[in-house]
Structure 1
Amino acid sequence: MREGGGIVLQAVHHIAIICSDYTESKRFYTEILGLQIIREVYREERDSYKLDLALGDTYVIELFSFPNPPARPSYPEASGLRHLAFTVDDVEKEVARLLAMGVKTEPVRIDPFTEKAFTFFQDPDGLPIELYEEEAAKK
């Protein structure tokens, strides 16, 4: 513990996502988002797949399948994890790529505080995903 309280966090280790259609979600996260497979295991005792995915050299997502997972409300927004956000160099360019692959996105907006561009789209289960531009939006 550091002085003044609170634990000392170093980084986000991973984000766990339970999907309803493992094959479709695996395709989405690897082929559309371009995450790299680290390992894939089938856990027979749980009738569940676990797919470890990376973005570059960073471990990012654990994708799980379970039989008949309950739906998580997303709209209207429910409490809990709101969305998953990835940084990109050019939001407009990535939106064009998503649209070419059949993924619908919201209109690109500008964050009024950072002046950076961002947009949202959804994974196959409706989980909101944000693309957030690293550089300030072009004016």
Structure 2
Amino acid sequence: MLPLLHVHHIALICTNYAASKHFYTAVLGLEVVREVYRAERQSYKLDLALRGHYILELFSFPAPPPRPTRPEAAGLRHLAFAVADLDATVAGLTQHGVAAEPIRTDEFTGRRFTFIQDPDGLPVEFYEQ
């Protein structure tokens, strides 16, 4: 077995950098660690943290191809965040104009969860702990 410590980060490519930056910072509340523009790639790279832990890299590129299907396309299926109070999370999302799917219950754990979509349609899950 390899001596892995933990997941270091998740990288996402967005189609509308301003909309995605707003979504992940103003709506979800992730903190900006670093933002750089790489002129040679015509690309922004935004490093984001959750409660001081670096978790997400958000990239922009001039014309990324769309995700082929949802949700069973090869690759990242969804991004999930643990929450203490799912009802309060859904209420906060609603205040930002973000619609959540109906709340479901995990048949194996009995925990409640729901999904939303980020500005590019990536499924984002909120899983009540």
- TM-score calculated relative to the size of structure 2: 0.96
Q: Residues of 1 paired with 2:43 and 2:109: CA distance?
A: 41
> For residue 66 of structure 1, what is the amino acid of its counterpart?
F
Q: Would the aligned equivalents of 1:74 and 1:126 in 2 still touch at CA under 8 Å?
A: no
Q: Does 1:11 align with 2:17?
A: no
Q: Residues of 1 paired with 2:53 and 2:69: CA distance?
A: 27
Q: Would the aligned equivalents of 2:47 and 2:56 in 1 still touch at CA under 8 Å?
A: yes
Q: Residues of 1 paired with 2:119 and 2:93: CA distance?
A: 13
State the shift of 1:57 in Å: 1.7
Give CA-to-partner distance per residue, 1:92-115, whole Å, 9 cap, x none.
Answer: 110111012110111111111111
Structure 1 residues 32 and 76: alpha-carbon distance in aligned structure 2, compared to 1, 3 A threshold: closer
Q: Residues of 2 paired with 1:128 and 1:70: CA distance?
A: 17
Give 1:105-116 correspondences, 5 Å limit: 105-116=100-111
Say which structure, 1 or 2, has more relative contact order (CA 8 Å, 6+ apart): 2
Secondary structure of the equivalent of 1:112? coil
Q: Would the aligned equivalents of 1:28 and 1:124 in 2 still touch at CA under 8 Å?
A: yes
State the shift of 1:64 in Å: 0.4
Secondary structure of the equivalent of 1:82? coil
Q: How many residues align?
A: 129
Give CA-to-partner distance per residue, 1:74-130, whole Å, 9 cap, x none.
Answer: 325212210000000011110111012110111111111111110000100000000
Listed as ranges, the gaps of 5+ residues in structure 2 are: none
State the shift of 1:9 in Å: 1.4
Give 1:79-90 correspondences, 5 Å limit: 79-90=74-85
Secondary structure of the equivalent of 1:93? helix
Q: Counterpart of 1:78?
A: 73
- Name the Cα RMSD after superposition: 0.9
Secondary structure of the equivalent of 2:13? strand
Q: Would the aligned equivalents of 1:32 and 1:101 in 2 still touch at CA under 8 Å?
A: yes
- Deviating 4+ runs (over 6 angstroms): none
Secondary structure of the equivalent of 2:100? coil
Secondary structure of the equivalent of 1:87? strand
* Percentage of pairs with the same residue: 61
Give 1:44-83 correspondences, 5 Å limit: 44-75=39-70, 77-83=72-78
Q: Would the aligned equivalents of 1:74 and 1:127 in 2 still touch at CA under 8 Å?
A: no
- TM-score calculated relative to the size of structure 1: 0.90
> For residue 23 of structure 1, what is the amino acid of its counterpart?
A
